[in-house]
Amino acid sequence: MKRLLSYSFEMWILLGCLHCVAHAQGQDLDLLLNPYPETGAWDAKDGSRTGFFMEVQNGILAGAYFGADAAGDNVWLIFSGQLQPVIGDDGLQNGWLLESPLRQTTAGGCILDCAEADVADPVTDEVAQIRLEFSGRSQATFSVDDNEPVKIFPAYWGNPAFAFDPEQPNLFLPNLTGIWLSVSTQGSGFGSSSQDFSSIVVVGDRTVSRFPDADTGDVFLTVSYPVLEGLAFTAVDPVISCDFVRGSEQAPNCSLSFSAGPMQGFGVEFDSITDSRFSLIGIDDVLTVTRTDFFRLNYD
């Protein structure tokens, strides 16, 4: 537990400087710290058997919301638009927002029992409004008209994930073991002074450590993945880890740590980790910022 608290404090000191850097650099850094949402299938994991398919291209999101109407018939509603930045009270961007009409199309192209079908021209109507707010690559809320927001998450079916807490089934970590392509951008301004580099990174098998607190009974969990080779900077025994408190609704605190190397801390936003991509954000003692994106190889 001491190790967790000590490292969390060091990370807070280093990564807290990102705010002063962001104010100095403006929108360029905002864009780098706010990845676009994960493309693919999303759902609420609440047993409602409803969900989304979403695609993001160059900041434009198009999607389909599927479920049923009051009669139990299948319904697909289409939405699209330009993602807009969500600006926090500190003036920094902390996510993405889409507000769009939900459109329903009836008639049109027949795909079942079409031999004697009387196919009418398609008709599209706006039937509701949807609001989607993304706090990271892998976490969002949505609401339709005046209904309460509902949390949604990417749907994974080809990747075993670790569930931290039976009472918090949505706080799970996709398995990161495998081979990744890492692409880094480093510089004090992410402009003409920046430098880019890439490498192949091998992430080892997962280990789970538990640290029960004798006084409170809380269980602290650390899920760790050793980085076996490939980082583009010198580091001894680098490990990607997420620290979690069972019973807490807070997302785990994730980071890259190592025994020795440059004076630099790297944070990983838990809600931006997916089965095929995640990002490290770091800042060193001279305010050089590094973003490294990891893309899983031979996966999708």
The pLDDT of residue 290 is: 77
Residue 247's pLDDT band, with cuts at 50, 70 and 90, is: confident
Across residues 242-253, what is the average pLDDT?
A: 81
Global model pTM greater than 0.85: no
| Whether residue 280 sits in one domain with residue 170 | yes
| Whether residue 23 sits in one domain with residue 53 | no
- Residue 60 is encoded by which pair of tokens? 């434009």
3-state secondary structure of 100: strand
The pLDDT of residue 106 is: 85
| Whether residue 250 sits in one domain with residue 129 | no
The pLDDT of residue 33 is: 66
| Whether residue 210 sits in one domain with residue 123 | no
Give 40's strand partners.
54
Per the prediction, the chain carries an average pLDDT of 80
Q: Where would I find the H helices in 197-263?
A: none
The pLDDT of residue 172 is: 82
Q: Last residue of some domain: 154, 185, 216?
A: 154
Q: Compute CA distances 179 → 94, 203, 297, whole Å.
A: 29, 6, 6
Across residues 277-299, what is the average pLDDT?
A: 81
- Residue 290 is encoded by which pair of tokens? 């590094």
| Whether residue 49 sits in one domain with residue 131 | yes
Task: Work out how many domains the chain is built from and give that number.
Answer: 2
Across residues 203-227, what is the average pLDDT?
A: 84
Task: Evaluate if residue 232 carries a pLDDT over 70.
Answer: no
Across residues 72-92, what is the average pLDDT?
A: 90
Query: In the 8-state DSSP scheme, what is residue 139?
Result: E
Higher pLDDT: 296 or 116? It is 296
Rounded Cα gap, residues 262 and 233, in angstroms: 8
3-state secondary structure of 226: strand
Task: Evaluate if residue 10 carries a pLDDT over 60.
Answer: no
Structural domain boundaries enclosing 60: 40-154
| Whether residue 134 sits in one domain with residue 48 | yes
Q: Last residue of some domain: 112, 135, 154?
A: 154
Across residues 99-111, what is the average pLDDT?
A: 89
Rounded Cα gap, residues 51 and 107, in angstroms: 22
The pLDDT of residue 2 is: 33
Task: Evaluate if residue 216 carries a pLDDT over 60.
Answer: yes
| Whether residue 247 sits in one domain with residue 107 | no
| Whether residue 258 sits in one domain with residue 200 | yes
